[in-house]
Structure 1
Amino acid sequence: MGTTVCYLVRGNGELAVDPPEEVLQAGIASPTDFVWMDVEAPGDAEYARLKHLYGFHDLALEDCANPETRTKLEAYDGTVFLVCRGVNHAPGGEEVDTVPLFCFLGDTYLVTLHPFPVRSVGAVCDRLRKNPRLLLEGPDRVLHLLIDHLVDHYFPLLDAIDERLDRVEDEIFREASRDALPLIFRTKKEVLALRRSAAPLRDILGVLANRGIPHVRAGTQLYFRDVHDHTLRIAETLDSYRDMLTSSLESYLSQVSNRLNDIMKRLTIVATILLPLTFITGLFGMNFEELPLTRGPVGFWLVAGGMGLLAVVLALYFKRKDWW
Structure 2
Amino acid sequence: MTEFPELICAYVLDGKGLGTTLDWPKVNTWTADQGPIWVHLDCTHENTDAWLREHSGLDTFVIDGLMADESRPRCDDYDDGTLLVLRGVNLNPGAEPEDMVSIRMWIEADRVISTRFRRLMAVEDVRQQLSSGKGPVSTGHLVARLAASLTERMSPVIENLSDQLMGLEDKLIGIDGGETLDMRAVRYELIDCRRVAIALRRYINPQRDALARLAQFEEMWLDDRIKGRLRETVDRVTRIVEELDEIRERAAVVQDELINRISQRMEKTMYVLTVVATVMLPLGFLTGLLGINVGGMPGAESPWAFWFVCAGLVGLVVIEIWIMRRFKWI
Distance 1:40 1:314, change over 3 A: same
**Counterpart residue identity of residue 231, structure 2:** R
Specify every segment of 5 or more residues in structure 2 that has no aligned partner in the other structure, as ranges: none
Specify the alignment match of 2:280 in structure 1: 274
User: Relative to 1, partners in 2 of residues 1:142 and 1:242: Cα closer, same or farther, differing over 3 Å?
Assistant: same
- CA positional deviation for 1:123: 0.5
Preserved contact between residue 3 and residue 42 of structure 1 (Cα < 8 Å):
no
Residues 219-240 of structure 1: per-residue CA shift (max 9 Å, x gap):
2110001001100110000001
* TM-score, normalised via structure 1 length: 0.88
Tell me how many residue pairs correspond in the alignment.
320
- The aligned counterpart of 2:104 is 102
| Partner of residue 156, structure 2 | 156
- Match among 5, 22, 44 for residue 9 of structure 2: 5
- How has the CA–CA distance of structure 1 residues 130 and 68 changed in structure 2, closer, same or farther, with 3 Å as cutoff? same
Question: How far does the alpha carbon of each residue in 1:188-243 deviate from its partner, in whole angstroms, 9 at most, with x for none?
Answer: 11111110121011111221234535642222110001001100110000001111
1:88 is displaced (CA, Å) by 2.3
- 2:310 maps to 1:304: yes
Task: Give the Cα separation in 2 of the matches to 1:3 and 1:92.
Answer: 24
The match for 1:292 among 281, 298, 302 is 298
Q: What aligned pairs does 1:1-324 form with structure 2 within 5 A after superposition?
A: 1-9=5-13, 16-18=20-22, 21=25, 23-25=26-28, 27-30=30-33, 33-89=35-91, 95-131=97-133, 134-136=135-137, 138-172=138-172, 173=175, 174-212=180-218, 215-319=221-325, 323-324=329-330
Cα distance between partner residues in 1 of 2:168 and 2:209? 31
Displacement of 1:170 after TM fit?
A: 4.5
Q: Are the aligned partners of 1:79 and 1:105 in contact in 2 as well (CA < 8 Å)?
A: yes
Report how far residue 122 of structure 1 moved: 0.1
1:265–1:13 Cα change, 3 Å: closer
Partners of 2:18 and 2:125 lie apart in 1 by 22
C-alpha displacement of 1:27: 3.9
Deviation of the 1:13 alpha carbon: 8.9
**What fraction of aligned residue pairs are identical, expressed as a percent?**
24
Distance verdict in 2 for CA 1:262–1:322, change over 3 Å? farther
TM-score (norm 2): 0.87
**CA RMSD, aligned part only?**
2.7
CA distance in 2, matches of 1:71, 1:257: 42
Distance 2:186 2:85 in 1: 36
> 1:286 offset after TM fit, Å?
2.7
Q: 1:121 to 1:294 in 2, by over 3 A?
A: same
